[in-house]
Amino acid sequence: MAFAFRHDGYGYHEEKQTVSARRIKLGPGLALIALLMMAWSAPAMAQIEGEATAQQADEEEEEVTGLPEVDEDHPLYWAQMREIYTMQHRAFIKEGRFAATLYAGLIPNSIFEQYFPVGLRINYYMMENIGLELSSSYAFQRNTTVNEIVTDETGISAAGDVLVGDTQVSHTTVGVKWSPVYGKFTYGDSRLFYFDMYVFGGAGLLVAQTQTTHGDPSEDPDIQDTDPKAEGVLGAGAAFYMGEHLGLRVDYRQFIFQKVNGGVANPSEISLGLTWFF
């Protein structure tokens, strides 16, 4: 540069042209290198941004669903995909609580009499699925039309002359209630209802009026004796819970006791009750 500067300007001018030519030659190369670097860095940046976005989406989805990201073969995969939540905890707790049930029912399996029991059940739940039950009922009795059409061997009506045997007056039982099945269902996609299915076993005392001689008990009360006797009871049922305190019960009971005229009686009771939890 100094040599070209001391001449008459042509050398400088020629050297300046040479430098300009070199700049012209190097310019496309630098541009090509810059383009290649941009082309290489763009996918890397996109991949980094994509991974960050996916990670953020996974974190948001996990926060919303409460379920971790799982493999397609994992049992929770379809639960997460379809937003199905398993029932992990009971929303209605019975353990350590008392409950009282008012109920009414029907004992239909006597051809001579029908009974309509009304009673009270008291439950205490030692565990969530095991509880004690004390139950007592009074049975309203109604004669069937069979009494009016029964005849003796001569064809004469024997109404009022049939020995019915034990007329049930009341049942008092104590036993254990076990709930092996617990679940929930929804009505109208707006509210969940919880339920138990249970079995029952116990023993108790039957108070019966026993007809000892022929005749009409309504006209001659002396022909009947009031007789308490032991009985066993088996049963099953379902309870539906509508809130923290209110419930609805459907029960089946099978009583077993010794008849006065021999044999074993096994009347069945079907009842519907309204429960309040304390």
Q: Lowest-pLDDT range, 25-29, 144-148, 206-210, 237-241?
A: 25-29
pLDDT of 20 higher than 80: no
245 with 176, same domain: the answer is yes
Mean pLDDT of the region 111-121 = 91
- 50 shares a domain with 121: no
Which tops the pLDDT comparison, 226 or 51? 226
Listed residue (264, 269, 265, 237) closest to 251, CA to CA: 237
Number of domains the chain is built from:
2
Same domain for 22 and 114?
no
Does residue 43 sit in the same domain as residue 165?
A: no
Q: With a cut of 60, say whether residue 31 has pLDDT above it.
A: yes
pLDDT at 42: 57
Region 147-152 average pLDDT: 57
Kindly indicate the confidence band of residue 144, based on its pLDDT and cuts at 50, 70 and 90.
confident
Are 54 and 144 found together in one domain? no
Please report whether residue 61 resides in a domain: yes
Residue 72 domain-assigned (yes or no): no
Provide the pLDDT for residue 90: 67
What integer is the mean pLDDT of 153-176? 71
State mean pLDDT over 20-43. 58
Amino acid 171: pLDDT: 96
**Are 100 and 120 a contacting pair, CB within 8 Å?**
yes
Residue 86 lies in a domain: no
Provide the terminal-to-terminal Cα distance of the chain, rounded to the nearest Å: 105
Q: Which domain holds residue 19?
A: 2-65
* CA dihedral of residues 120, 125, 126, 129 (deg, nearest 10): 130
172 and 236 inside one domain: yes
pLDDT per residue over 55-108, tens digit each? 665 565 555 445 456 666 766 666 565 555 555 566 678 999 999 999 999 998
Q: Are residues 61 and 102 in the same domain?
A: no
Residue of 154, 168, 180, 178 whose CA lies nearest to 269: 168
In a domain, 54, yes or no: yes
Average pLDDT, integer, range 22-39? 60
- Regarding whether 22 and 110 lie in a shared domain, the answer is no
What's the pLDDT band for 13 if we cut at 50, 70, 90? very low
Among residues 45, 65, 85, the one where a domain terminates is 65
Are 182 and 113 found together in one domain? Answer: yes
CATH of the domain at 235: 2.40.160.20
Q: List Cα–Cα distances, 43 to 33, 40, 48, 50, 170, in angstroms.
A: 17, 6, 8, 10, 86
Residues 45 and 142 in one domain: no
pLDDT band at residue 209 under the 50/70/90 scheme? confident
Indicate the SS3 state at residue 10: helix
Within its chain, how far is the Cα of 65 from the centroid?
A: 22
pLDDT confidence bin for 172, thresholds 50/70/90: very high
> If you average pLDDT over residues 164-187, what whole number do you get?
88
- Is 85 a member of any domain? no
Question: What is the full DSSP assignment across 42-93?
Answer: HHHHHHHHHHHHHHHHHHHHHHHH------TTSTTHHHHHTT-----S-SS-
Please check whether residue 77 lies inside any domain of the structure. Answer: no
> What local confidence, expressed as pLDDT, does residue 186 receive?
76
**Does residue 130 sit within a domain?**
yes
Tell me the average pLDDT across 166-189: 88
b/e per residue 75-108 (b: at least 16 CB within 10 A): eeeeebeeeeeeeeeeebebeeeebebebebebe
pLDDT of residue 226: 81
User: Do residue 119 and residue 60 come from a single domain?
Assistant: no
Q: Which two tokens stand for residue 74?
A: 């994992």
pTM: 0.62
Q: Do 154 and 249 belong to one domain?
A: yes
Asked if the structure places residue 180 within a domain, the reply is yes
